[in-house]
Structure 1
């Protein structure tokens, strides 16, 4: 069976685990999307990449864009999200490296 889009909406990535999906499921998948986000690719993203997904994305962009849409509803102005995305991605990487240094 072929899938164009596979979305991970489970909590497995939050527990540093991948869902029980055969990697071949991702073969020729156009997009594998994990609603979770982290500094490094999540286990779901790693599984999707290994299985052959053409594009793999985490949920940070969705978080930011949902916040921007909410801001638009509340304030009537939609903020530019590109700088926010870069800043949050950098903060995730910094947090991850600091956490690794403590171990």
Structure 2
């Protein structure tokens, strides 16, 4: 029995490498999460989506970790959705400039 989700916490995405996974590890109706993020989909996110899985990069984790730190230091939780939306827009702009 395979897992319902797969998390990529390897350094492969740093080098732009796809993971060498056995057939069937990534599949439809599954989720996949890459702790890396960038202007373009990571190879792992692309692999997962090509296999039919729902996949996300690590930008949301970065924002939520920063928000948690801010909350601990200042006693007030910042709104993370606008920050994430702004960062996604900036990455999309970077993607267009690199095309």
TM-score (norm. length: structure 1): 0.86
Distance in 2 of aligned mates of 1:51 and 1:12: 18
Equivalenced residues, count: 99
1:57 corresponding residue in structure 2: 56
The structure that is helix-richer by fraction is 1
1:31 corresponding residue in structure 2: 31
Distance in 2 of aligned mates of 1:35 and 1:85: 15
Pairs within 5 Å for 1:23-102: 23-28=23-28, 30-53=30-53, 55-100=54-99
1:18, distance to aligned residue in structure 2 (A): 0.8
- Which ranges in structure 1 are unaligned for 5 or more consecutive residues? none
My pick for the range that moved more, 14-23 or 30-39, is 14-23
TM-score (norm. length: structure 2): 0.89
- Which ranges in structure 2 are unaligned for 5 or more consecutive residues? none
1:51, distance to aligned residue in structure 2 (A): 2.0
Shift in alpha-carbon separation, 1:78–1:23, aligned structure 2, 3 A? farther
